[in-house]
Amino acid sequence: MQETYYLNETFYTGKAAWQILMQSSDKLIIVKFVAPHCGSCITLKPVLEQLATEYADRLHLVEIDMVEETELAIALGIRNAPTVVLFQQQQEQARIAGLKPKKQYLDMVQQFL
């Protein structure tokens, strides 16, 4: 089972961190579902981290291993990695599956700020 890591006030990993943030934060929550040895996941990581840093006062970034958290991935309809899901006020607002240009992630976030 994947452990929960509190990395700082913006970056988190694990299902438990996501669940806590869903219940306690008014900020946008971006969840990046990844898988081991996923090259696109590795490529996407700095893109999302830069975006999260730019908007640190308004969002959280959570990384969840979809292999470790299979039940959650299935419940949310996650079929491939990477998949990025944006939550606001405990509701899914947007989703991007696969590796896309940075602008697409930026547009998704800005739409809900």
38 catalytic per annotation: yes
Neighbours of 18 (CB within 10 A): 22
| List 41, 51, 96, 108, catalytic entry | 41
Helices and strands (H, E) in the chain, number of each type: 4, 6
Q: Residue 84 and residue 70: Cα distance in Å, rounded?
A: 16
29 catalytic per annotation: no
Place of tokens 């929550």: 29
| List 34, 38, 48, 73, catalytic entry | 38
* Catalytically active residues, by annotation: 38, 41
